[in-house]
Amino acid sequence: MREMSNPFAPTAYEQQKARTARVMEYVFLAMGIALIIPMLLIIGVIFVKGWPALSWEYLTANPMRGGAAGGIWGPLIGTFYLTVLCLLIVAPVGIMAGIYLNEYAPDNRLTRAIMIAVTSLAGVPSIVHALFGLGAFVAAMHMNKSLLVAAATLAVMTLPVIITSTREALAAVPRNFREACWNLGATRWQTIRTIVLPNSISGILTGVILVVARAAGETAPIMLTGAVASMWVEDEGWAKFTPYRLDEQFMAMAMHLNSIARDVPGMPESMKFGSALVLLLLILTINSAAVVLRLYLRRRKRW
């Protein structure tokens, strides 16, 4: 008697789909590797060439002779203050705007137009934001080029990132959570404050991480609104940690790198790569702390 074929065996069409899925898996893996390898090579070159320049004196001394000698303390502390001030401006505004657009705004043409404008603003080149900051804050509002103006310009540039990440994080919270609170008599704000925000904070922090990286590494917006390549700053006592006022110009790592790479002849290569390495480590440190906090908050989610 002839043996019957297996009725559960995959058909030729199913086998073809499985082969196609495997091929696409390898294609996407190759694309991922093609993106990761250049990034690792760039980071590796920066580490290898910049590590010899790193020392305590290099990190704590101020630049001298236009950055050709000395250290990077002035630009380093300036970048820290610039990033923190930018976050203090953009985070409350962006988070509240995201809450309004997702929780309060009606689904109409105006709301959709606002979201299109926010998305479009995220794609505007940084030099355009620099010109906006120069025209709006310096020319129109008669503010001096300063740390505050540069931070406000970066805040405008990074605002779409915070709004979009906040809105997506809030939308990811199941609607059942809201309905359960409303059925118990909670107001909309009580629901947002006690249920929605705690369960979406990890997603909101994703936008904050992106803002930190972008704010610390941008050159064009701060070049036109307050950053300078070289200036004298206090390097003794408590004044060493507070060298800039909000209404004063300042130094920043991105501007410092641009200056020593382009305008300082005979600059040792190790000092150029050392500055790039410090900026990279600063961004990685802040981002790592935010990622750890995000993972901790993600584990506390109730769903």
Report the pLDDT value the prediction gives residue 181, as an integer from 0 to 100. 86
Report the pLDDT value the prediction gives residue 56, as an integer from 0 to 100. 84
Q: Do the domain assignments include residue 85? A: yes
Q: Do the domain assignments include residue 18? A: no
User: Which residues, other chains included, contact 47 with Cβ-Cβ below 8 Å and sequence gap of 6+?
Assistant: 277
Q: Looking at 134-195, list the stretches that DSSP marks H as alpha helix, in order from N- to C-terminal side.
A: 147-171, 175-183, 188-191
Q: Do the domain assignments include residue 48? A: no
Q: Do the domain assignments include residue 33? A: no
pTM of the model: 0.81
What is the DSSP annotation of 247-299? TS-B--HHHHHHHHHHT-TT--HHHHHHHHHHHHHHHHHHHHHHHHHHHHHHH
Task: Provide the CATH number for the domain around residue 133.
Answer: 1.10.3720.10
Beta bridge partners of 64: 69
Q: Do the domain assignments include residue 14? A: no
Q: Do the domain assignments include residue 196? A: yes
Amino acid, res. 185 = G
Report the pLDDT value the prediction gives residue 1, as an integer from 0 to 100. 43
Q: Do the domain assignments include residue 96? A: yes
User: Which residues, other chains included, contact 110 with Cβ-Cβ below 8 Å and sequence gap of 6+?
Assistant: none
Closest alpha carbon to 151 in 8, 247, 234 = 247
191, two tokens: 């629901």
What is the DSSP annotation of 109-143? HHHHHHHHHHHHHHTS-HHHHHHHHIIIIIIIS-P
Cβ pair 196, 170 in contact under 8 A: yes
Number of domains in the chain: 1
61 DSSP 8-state letter: S
Domain with 152, as residue range(s), is: 70-299
Q: Do the domain assignments include residue 287? A: yes
> Which regions in the chain score pLDDT beneath 50?
1-3
Report the pLDDT value the prediction gives residue 2, as an integer from 0 to 100. 44
Reported as a single tens digit per residue, the pLDDT across 210-254 is 788 888 888 888 888 888 877 777 767 677 778 888 888 888 888
- Number of helices (H), then strands (E), in the chain: 12, 2
Cβ pair 254, 83 in contact under 8 A: no
Report the pLDDT value the prediction gives residue 239, as an integer from 0 to 100. 72
